[in-house]
Structure 1
């Protein structure tokens, strides 16, 4: 293997490891779906929370809290704060989730 391929493989492996290193618990299905949708939306270049909320609504992304309401910027912020708080609590209780 060339040095360049080794470097690329190490970087890919390291970034995959770092992407989950501080989770106090695994994301549940609705949190993971929201994360994937946000990644796709932000990846498309959209960063305005109003537009992001509209896109989440148009994609039919469920709220991790289970609330039955339309996505708005303030609801998006509430959902993200709740997820972050839950992950922080899990981390406080048990450290981080071991990497696969």
Structure 2
């Protein structure tokens, strides 16, 4: 799967995205590109598209699940960055 961003834009990542994280990122970019920013609508679209939550594996999204998944993914990337520094 092609990366949604250039390598230069990702140079400060401590690790690569998992396939599920990348799929979520692409889905979110697609949704946000339509001008939708209301998380209630975002989670409806994630559910309708059967996007798999990277950590829980759920496909029925709620605002709380989206927040929990993004928070955990962010923490994981922070930990990887702290351990490995620049350039995944």
Give the TM interval when normalised to the shorter protein.
0.7 to 0.9
What RMSD, in angstroms, separates the aligned Cα atoms of the two structures?
Answer: 1.6
Report the number of matched residues. Answer: 84
5+ residue gaps, structure 2, are none
2:85 alignment counterpart: 95
1:72 alignment counterpart: 62
TM-score (norm 2): 0.86
Work out whether residues 15 and 81 of structure 2, in 8 Å CA contact, stay in contact via their aligned partners in 1: yes
User: 1:37-52 residue pairs with structure 2 within 5 A?
Assistant: 37-52=27-42
Q: Tell me, what secondary structure is at the counterpart of 1:55?
A: helix
Partners in 1 of 2:58 and 2:34 — Cα distance?
Answer: 27
- How far did residue 97 of structure 1 move? 2.0
Larger Rg: 1
5+ residue gaps, structure 1, are 1-14
TM-score (norm 1): 0.77
Partners in 2 of 1:88 and 1:66 — Cα distance?
Answer: 19
